[in-house]
Chain A
Amino acid sequence: MAEFNALTESVIKGDIKSAVAETQKALETGQDIQSIIDDGLIRAMDDVGERFSKGQIFVPQMLRSAKTMQECMKLIQPHFKEGDVKAKGKVVIGTVKGDLHDIGKNLVSMMLEGAGFTIIDLGVDVNPEAFVEKVKETEADIMGMSALLSTTMPAMRHTIDALKEAGIRDQVKVMIGGAPVTDDFAREIKADAYAPDAGSAVIQTKKLLGLS
């Protein structure tokens, strides 16, 4: 395994300038792309995730690390060849129809991205058909829905129904969250997972995909 300690350290610190320089150096010296990602960037983000869940660092520090990783990925992407990099999993995410509150959803997106997942963010007020269409089109592994209002919670059920009607309910795992949402509600509408916050969303996603 190649040594990417300097890169890992820079990502953990959220030092964009030095992380980008380290990535550039790794690319120039012909390091394996998958290895730069796995042993450099994702290793750093795993460490960041662990520190965060232990309460050792704060959200803005974690997000800065995620941003640092994204900047490094921008450099790496042009070097991708077909089949070079295996994605960890694809997540289609959005707030449900009628709900415009997206701070929580955005946080989940950023954390999942930081953990190495591919995010397809549909934004706010997403109707069931749009969810279904995107899940089909991208062959997503996870569909994440968020609702802040009790009046928009039924839209979660409707969206799951729409997946069933489209015949793709068993092809995707459904994860839900948002202030009034509970574990009981998730079971009631037969969602596959409930995440009370962004950190748990990452843990649940990994569990759903058998990655942990």
Chain B
Amino acid sequence: MRPIEIPTFQPRMKVLNREQALAIHTAALEILEKTGIKMEHPTVLEALAGEGCRVSGRDWVKIPAYLAEEALHSAPRQIALYDQQGNKSMPLTHENPFYGTGSDATFTFDMETGERRRSVLSDVANYARLVDGLENIAFCMSMANPVDVPVIEDIYLQVFAEMVKNTNKPIVFIADSGKDIARIYEIACLVAGGEELLQQKPFLLNYSEAISPLRFPQNVMERLIFCAEKKLPICLPSGSNAGGGSPVTLAGAMALGIAENLAGLVIHQLFGKGSPFLFGPNVSVLDMKSTVVSYGCPEWSLTQAALADMRDELYGLPIWAFAGASDAKVMDAQAGAESMFSIITAMLSRCNLIHDVGFLEYGSTSSLEMVTMANELVAMSRFFVGGIPVNDNTLALDAIERVASGEPGSIFLMDDHTFEHFMEAQFLPTLLDRSRYDSWEQSGALDMYGRCNKEAKKILATHQVNAKSDVVLEEIDRLLRR
């Protein structure tokens, strides 16, 4: 008889029990049914009224709970993002975490001078290429709100084109309205080789936001309808940050954010039944001294872990999350502590699409070095979450016996078992420094920032991004000039 294999427990975090999850969900439904939302898109308002929602005043609408439950049923549970060459690179099914950068940072740290300066378009290119070259960073966002775009209305179009030219990984993109999203979609079709191929193997996901509390602006709804109709994956988190857009207590903030997400989902499924919708609000906190929305707080990690529990208990839809960011003004110890805190907890709670990696200063400043550091912190977390496989081979009784009863000088380091397994049995860091003091000093005495800076520069200087064909590039430029 073959011995029974012992399954490996993969460390896993839970923060809500079923009763808590149900109570938050019920509160969200109550918000939709009793309080309602402000819908500023007339066509959507009409469509909701046609489905049995009660409209009062000019644009206030109350959504019955069954519509939310129906939308949760018709939205697909499996969303996969592909890379730009058609390979399935991000299956967002519920145990898979994927990390990526964030969007629209006003400032960035200049890699050469080390100074914080206003972001420009070439920064978008640099971040995209760095992401392309980092193994554990799965997708790309703009990381910049460039000051040097010629026409401000085209900012998201320009930024998208820049990302497409500099990475083949999936892209999470921002748009302003129904107008620029249509042009971005045209570029995406060019890259994928046509509309049908893009719908089959989407490499992009739109990030849009409702405004907490409960406000759905016209231009945001244009994007939502566009994505629903084109089957383009979208997420619609609102900024239901505790104490800012929502109540200060986390349960209420989650209920409000989930209500806003469910309202978005109802509308989305009305305009495109079965179209992919990534679930989840952003529930951080408004800092009670500075009034910034915190990117380093434990609360955001806690609410998204709670949302992952709600996904498992109730929703089944893959979720939107954040990690690897910080409120620190420079890449210091605070930045390291905060980014690791969110990276490991996002993985332990099995969040799916995890953005904002590499942000400093509560999302106002981007840092290539932070992204580079996060790449290693994600690897470290993955190792941890891999757990401890227990079997004959890993228990290694043979090796123990060999060394114990072997000749004098017989040591584990020399044993074949070590040679054969050390690569997967241990986490082998590259940037986290474990060298002895003297060799660290001899190699320049660089701190973590210095090593990440060096590594980022190296990747940007050497990493080759598979270039798009000349035809596609010319078409993109033609589209940009239009």
Contact = CB atoms under 8 A, between A and B. Distances in A.
A154 interface: yes
B290 interface: yes
Interface string A10-26: 00000000000000000
Contacts of A149: 176
Given A107-B291, A197-B290, A153 B152 contact: yes
A151 B154 CA distance: 9
B291 A150 contact: no
A59 B289 contact: yes
Contacts of B364: 179
A58 B211 contact: no
Nearest to B149: A150
Contacts of B286: 103
Given A59-B289, A151-B155, A151-B176, A103 B215 contact: no
A58 B145 contact: no
Interface residues of A, number: 20
A103 B244 contact: yes
A138 interface: no
Interface string B186-216: 0000000000000000000000000100010
A180 B118 CA distance: 10
B104 interface: yes
A100 B288 contact: no
A100 B245 CA distance: 13
B153 interface: yes
Contacts of B248: 60
Interface string B270-298: 00000000000000001011110000000
B217 interface: yes
Contact of B152 (A59, A101, A154, A182): A154
B93 interface: no
Contact of B215 (A100, A104, A180, A198): A100
A103 B289 CA distance: 15
B106 interface: yes
A103 B106 contact: no
Nearest to A153: B152
B289 A150 contact: no
Interface string A94-110: 00000011011001000
A151 B291 CA distance: 23
Nearest to A103: B244
Given A150-B152, A151-B153, A179-B106, A58 B289 contact: yes
A130 B286 CA distance: 31
A153 B291 CA distance: 21
Contacts of B244: 103
Contact of A197 (B104, B118, B243, B291): B291
A137 interface: no
Contact of A198 (B152, B176, B211, B291): B291
Nearest to B38: A100
B152 A151 contact: yes
A180 B145 contact: yes
B153 A59 contact: no
Nearest to A60: B288
A198 B153 CA distance: 28
Interface string A126-160: 00000000000000000000000111011000000
Nearest to B177: A151
Nearest to A98: B219
Contacts of B289: 55, 58-59
A107 B104 CA distance: 23
A165 interface: no
A179 B364 CA distance: 8
Interface in B149-171: 152-153, 155
B182 to A, nearest CB: 16
A100 to B, nearest CB: 5
A184 interface: yes
A103 B241 CA distance: 11
B298 to A, nearest CB: 18
B291 to A, nearest CB: 6
A121 B49 CA distance: 33
B221 to A, nearest CB: 12
Contacts of B211: 100-101
Contacts of B288: 58-60
Contacts of A184: 118
A179 B286 CA distance: 14
A180 B106 contact: yes
Interface in B214-239: 215, 217
A150 B104 contact: yes
Contacts of A58: 288-289
Nearest to A180: B106
Interface in A62-101: 100-101
Q: Which 4 A-B pairs have the closest CB atoms?
A: A58-B288, A150-B145, A151-B176, A180-B106
13 contacts: A55-B289, A60-B288, A100-B217, A101-B211, A150-B104, A150-B152, A151-B155, A153-B152, A179-B364, A180-B106, A180-B145, A182-B118, A184-B118
Given A103-B244, A103-B245, A154-B152, 4 more contacts: A59-B291, A149-B176, A150-B104, A184-B118
